[in-house]
Amino acid sequence: MGRYVLRRLLQLIPVFLGTTFLIYVLVWTIPGDPFAGQCGDRACPDAYITEMREKFNLDEPLLVQYGSYLLRLVQGDFGETFSGIEVSELIAAAYPVTLKLALVALVIEMVIGGIAGILTGLRNRGFLDNLVLVSTLFLISIPVFVTGFVLQFLFGLRWGIIEPTVSSQARLTELIVPGFVLGSLSMAYVARLTRASIAEHKRSDYVRTAVAKGLTPGRVAGVHVLRNSAIPVITFLGTDLGALMGGAIVTEGIFNIRGIGGLIFGAITTKEGATVVGAVTLLVIVYLLMNLLVDVLYAVLDPRIRYD
């Protein structure tokens, strides 16, 4: 097991280098001078632009720039904004909020989507199956921002069950409705994926063998069908955490949540390249760690994977 995990860790290194280099290139090589509009309505002095370009190593070759950034990054230095604020401080203030929101969304899609998929997968056809298929298709067809505005209007403005916007403390109870909005699309996919995976494994030879041996339906479903059906669902859930954190910009905007999505959006509009690179690099790290966790869970659920 240790060699399996070590091999997966080594495989993450070239992926990390490739993705962070691509992010750095895309942010810092876009047309235009990022410092040209930093002085308000008047043009910035040439001395200021020269000083800033030297400060951010933009006069160096691209590989040298990336090498310097990577060296600082492994030391925990995400750089600083044009106004001298440490990017790590901005991330430290915004990232926990988005992480909490993404975890709430992940739990909602895992519980509701998983239960719906299990029930419809084990009991194919019928009213419940049709209800889940229609409702998930409905969620998939509606954009997230529409779902967010509708729930905000109904629960917040019309019925007064929740506050229309989330406070600066971002308490867990305040994030339930935004978390449902953020995870609504993935919840529909989880339900459908779980249903399809269970329906496929129910027809497998090993399930027929287990039934022929006289095992109870509960043991066949719990030990054999659900365990093997969980692998594609775990893959989706593991990679979805990074997607939820990166895709929370719309949800955070609707409910006025001060998270990483708003930080990235504001940095893009003001051309704060260091903030964009630092925040997106952290999202890449989350993606890679979740992929590693999924690989380990693979080996736990199916020991044959360790020996492949």
pLDDT digits (tens, 9 = 90+) for 135-180: 999 988 988 889 999 999 999 888 988 888 888 888 888 999 999 9
Per-residue pLDDT tens over the stretch 77-92: 888 888 888 899 999 8
Confidence band of 105 (pLDDT split at 50, 70, 90): very high
Per-residue pLDDT tens over the stretch 269-286: 877 888 989 988 888 888
Dihedral over Cα of 132, 133, 135, 136: its sign: positive
What are the chain's domains? Answer: 2-74 (no CATH), 94-307 (1.10.3720.10)
Termini Cα distance of the chain: 12
Per-residue pLDDT tens over the stretch 121-130: 887 777 888 8
Residue 151 CA to residue 164 CA, distance in Å, equals 9
Average pLDDT of the chain?
A: 84
Q: 3-class secondary structure for 41-73?
A: CCCCCHHHHHHHHHHCCCCCCHHHHHHHHHHHH
Residue 308 CA to residue 289 CA, distance in Å, equals 21
Per-residue pLDDT tens over the stretch 186-221: 999 999 999 888 888 887 777 778 778 777 777 777
Per-residue pLDDT tens over the stretch 51-81: 888 888 888 888 888 999 999 888 888 888 8
Given a cut of 80, is residue 98 above it in pLDDT? yes
- For residue 80, the 8-state DSSP code is B
The identity of residue 16, as a single letter, is F
Any idea what the Cα angle at residue 268 is, between residues 69 and 266, rounded to 5°? 110
Given a cut of 60, is residue 306 above it in pLDDT? no
**pLDDT for residue 192:** 92
Mean pLDDT within 118-122: 85
**pLDDT for residue 303:** 64
**pLDDT for residue 308:** 52
- Residue 86, beta-bridge partner list: 80
**pLDDT for residue 304:** 62
**pLDDT for residue 218:** 74
